[in-house]
Amino acid sequence: MDSIIQNILVPTDFSKSSEKAYIVAANLAKTYGATVDFLHIIPTLKYFRESVNKMGIPFDMDEEFYPHAQRDAKHRMEQAAQDYLKEEHRGELYTAIEPRTAGAIAQFADKHSHDLIVVGERGAGETHWFRGSTTERLIRQAKVPVFAVDDSFQIESIKKILVPTDGSHLSLQALKMALPLAVTFKASIELFHVLELYGVSWDDVPRQPDQDEESHARVAILNQITTLLEKNGAFDGVSFAKKSETEPLSFGFSMGSDTVSVPCDLNVARGVSAHYEIEREAVDAADMVIMATHGHSGLAHLILGSTAEKVAQYVKKPVLTVRPEGLE
């Protein structure tokens, strides 16, 4: 499996939380030989411009304010790159003047073919610049995985990565990011499925007479994993070891000429609300969450609307969201 992290984007507002994103991006760049680009969005000041014009103040936003803001931002990004990144990992420094921060970041990452967006949880002044409304919009709009880290994030503290799944191939595509990051963090993976009251049924997997619903779900998910790895080219180099439901589960992940074993648990829980159970499991048993933004829950609606967005908003752990392939 080739490295899927080669070009990282770090949007920054130069806050302390952004500095945490620099550190995480630098560690990932070192591990995968990636480059890191910085992006600073300067919001358009439409109402300020209109007020200045009405008052007749001789101040030109386009000629004076924006050029100054861009020069200042570039200088601060240059300093951040020098302080946090080795020279071979330093990419480009960008500024953009845009009315909508999240949309601008999403479009920029897609246009420049970034593999990962690493953002700080809080913005300048300790506001929820990313984790909150901007993060929600970024998750909705970004085709690129979004990794939100908070001020307390420490790479060495990541020992277990929670990967929620509804059992669909779409939701299981989160493994594309979970596996290499588990290797990076020397962590294990927990696949976590919630049996909701009106959740998905497993009609394509025969249920044995003496098999309870939890065991039936585990068998079905194991079958889905096997099929996904066999048919999805993005998982070339990934092997899967699981001979029976009671045996330990592990993945083999190729990195160069070496194959690294990633231990994995598959847990199934009952609950009325998937996002509530995921939040509770994240708090009790995991150090970060990696999940897909889409899947099939109930009548094939988006996980995004019902689960992933809420998890990203409320879980006080690092959260990385992945948009599955094949979605418009």
Looking at the DSSP assignment, which residues form a beta bridge with residue 161?
189, 288
Domain with CATH 3.40.50.620 in the chain: 7-149, 157-317
| CA 205/CA 179 separation, integer angstroms | 26
DSSP letters for 46-65: HHHHHHHHHHT----IIIII
Tell me the mean pLDDT in the region 58-80: 81
| CA 127/CA 121 separation, integer angstroms | 9
pLDDT beyond 90 at 162: yes
3-state DSSP helix/strand/coil % of the chain, to nearest 5: 45, 25, 35
- What sign has the CA pseudo-torsion 123, 129, 132, 138? negative
Q: CB under 8 Å to 168, separation ≥6 — which residues? A: 200, 224, 295, 296
Count CB atoms within 10 A of the CB of residue 165.
24
- CA distances (Å), origin 168, targets 202, 264, 275: 10, 18, 16
Tell me the mean pLDDT in the region 23-32: 90
Q: Which residue has the tokens 């109930």?
A: 298
**What local confidence, expressed as pLDDT, does residue 123 receive?**
52
**By percentage, how much of the chain surpasses pLDDT 90?**
34
| CA 159/CA 323 separation, integer angstroms | 24
DSSP 8-class letter at 277:
H
What would the two tokens of residue 291 be? 């999940």
| CA 31/CA 27 separation, integer angstroms | 6
> Is the Cβ–Cβ distance between 161 and 183 less than 8 Å?
no
175-209 confidence digits (pLDDT tens) = 989 998 998 889 999 999 988 765 555 556 656 66
> Is the Cβ–Cβ distance between 161 and 288 less than 8 Å?
yes
Cα pseudo-dihedral 268, 160, 152, 281, rounded to 10: 10
What values do phi and psi take at 162, rounded to 5?
A: -90, 125
269, amino acid identity: A
**What local confidence, expressed as pLDDT, does residue 154 receive?**
79
Tell me the mean pLDDT in the region 143-160: 85
- CA distances (Å), origin 324, targets 81, 133, 174, 187, 303: 31, 22, 7, 23, 11
**What local confidence, expressed as pLDDT, does residue 244 receive?**
58
Which of 66-70, 138-142, 286-290 is most confident?
A: 286-290
Task: Identify the CA nearest to 42 among candidates 123, 98, 84, 88.
Answer: 98
231-253 confidence digits (pLDDT tens) = 877 788 788 876 556 667 888 87
Please name the helix (run of DSSP H) or strand (run of DSSP E) that holds residue 191, with its range, or none.
strand 188-195
Mean pLDDT of the chain: 81
**What local confidence, expressed as pLDDT, does residue 153 receive?**
77
> CATH code for 7-149?
3.40.50.620
82-109 confidence digits (pLDDT tens) = 999 999 999 999 999 988 889 999 999 9
**What local confidence, expressed as pLDDT, does residue 296 receive?**
65
Q: CB under 8 Å to 247, separation ≥6 — which residues? A: none
**By percentage, how much of the chain surpasses pLDDT 70?**
77
**What local confidence, expressed as pLDDT, does residue 312 receive?**
73
272-317 confidence digits (pLDDT tens) = 888 889 989 999 999 999 999 877 653 344 454 457 767 777 777 8
Lowest average pLDDT, out of 108-122, 228-242, 256-270, goes to: 228-242
Tell me the mean pLDDT in the region 132-137: 69
Q: Considering the domain 157-317, what is its CATH architecture?
A: 3-Layer(aba) Sandwich (3.40)
